[in-house]
Chains A and B, each alone.
Chain A
């Protein structure tokens, strides 16, 4: 917000000098934007002091861990969790959403640690994936109960770690929890308009889909291309609502583009029926189209992704064709002509 205000101030000066905006409107326009939240020095020092106090308490407990009876240790672990949740409830009551969100995110992580510590305190043997999935579900419950995007992010990370902890590339093992948690996280990000949660859920969607494909059996062309098409459809939906839904839709748009492109690229290497030059040509065209889209939408991540994808497609074509430089020249000539013609057509269609 502060960055936008600064830019607006500079633009306003230009517009007033050019006579586009009356000088009297300057204050009203800037007032409508607001100052943005800034932490003052006292608040910053209080936050740093709180963090040091927390570290001191943790170090003191760790130093005396063996001296504390098992039951007292368990009560201590639960007490810390209950204290954080109580603080979050207080923050909710006092209508301080930032504090509520932060405390619930920390509570979600503390509960994850509490599961491990309880196992240690009482020597309860269990599987690491089950503990991580349980912690992820607990974080999800806290997120839903307290409307906390931070807890939801922690939940997605814990579910993902649980899925990866028993070997990410094992086929025919349990289905990944992330494949079900990430869409829910994306839905919450959309509903709560949370950009950080949208990014976490977007990454979760891509990783979850990949794990799901691997665990349903060796990925084939149809599965990979269908997944790519699914991500493309999601990307189109997110882009369509980007202006009305804000940053959350923008974040999801970027990750869905990555998913669509990644699964399409993998289909050309892992698949048996869709490989070789046809795949590379479509890859090249998609990358060029994405670059144009990214530039038009001023979406830096999509533009950057498209550039990397273009480089990858070019490298793949050169690798596929070996030393056939004449063939490579022909392929890139056709691609260049296609890009130039497409650009020319778009420019002609643009109103003056």
Chain B
């Protein structure tokens, strides 16, 4: 038996715990220090019991009448420009520099267009790695009910922090003017 085995096991455990804590702290700092943008989103999907209670969300926004779907939506960088209280897609580019020429905020991700039939406006869907919000069951069900309220449904926005690394991190959601932030508690 190796005498140092208990020390080695405890050392490895401490290292792994430190790595997980560092990840949480780094992500928290990046989320707090990033540039905040608000993006339109659509109705929540039902929760999953396997991965905890979460509300799946889709960042989708109607394309303005006559606007073309951005070509090359899978190029890797998305440019966003402010429009009132929200940010909207300004274009896509292969590089961060290219995206910053199109709009003041550049975020890693892809854009694709859906819909566009005779009676349906074409919508652009952003895939920036933000696709779910973990919330408790009561909160998730209340959000879902509000968003499925039909034509009178309240405005729904995802509050996203765009870090210097170009990654988007979810900060919270705003539904009907009520903001729910992710915090430590």
Residue numbers of A with Cβ under 8 A of B are 65-67, 69-71, 74, 78, 81-82, 85-86, 88-90, 92-93, 95, 97, 100, 104, 107, 111, 114-118, 120-125, 138, 141-142, 144-147
Would A81 and B13 count as touching, CB distance under 8 A? yes
Interfacial chain A residues near B8, Cβ < 8 Å: 145-146
Contact A125 B169 (CB under 8 A): yes
CA distance A85 to B131 in the complex (A): 34
Instruction: Judge whether B24 and A107 touch: CB under 8 Å.
Output: no
Chain B interface residues toward A at CB < 8 A: 1-2, 5-13, 15-17, 19-21, 23-24, 27-28, 51-54, 129-134, 136-138, 167-170, 182-185
CB-based contact B15/A121 at 8 Å: no
| Contact, CB under 8 Å: B52 / A65 | yes
Residue from the list B6, B13, B21 in contact with A92, Cβ < 8 A: B6
B13 touches A82 (CB 8 A): yes
Q: Which among A65, A104, A117 is the interface contact of B9 at CB below 8 angstroms?
A: A104
Give Cα distance in the complex from A78 to B8, angstroms.
18
For the complex, give the distance between the alpha carbons of A204 and B129 in Å: 31
Of B6, B8, B9, B170, most A-chain CB atoms within 10 Å: B9
- B17 and A82 form a contact (CB under 8 A): yes
Q: List 25 A-B contacts (CB under 8 A).
A: A65-B52, A66-B53, A66-B136, A71-B184, A71-B185, A86-B10, A89-B6, A92-B1, A104-B9, A115-B20, A118-B24, A122-B27, A123-B133, A123-B170, A124-B27, A124-B169, A125-B129, A125-B167, A125-B169, A138-B19, A142-B9, A145-B9, A145-B11, A146-B5, A146-B8
Minimum Cβ distance to chain B for residue A252 (Å): 24
Residue contact A69 to B185, C-beta cutoff 8 Å? yes
Interchain CA distance A93-B12 in the complex, whole Å: 16
Write out the residue numbers on chain B whose beta carbons fall within 8 Å of the beta carbon of A107: 13
Q: Which residue of the partner chain B has the closest CB to A126?
A: B129
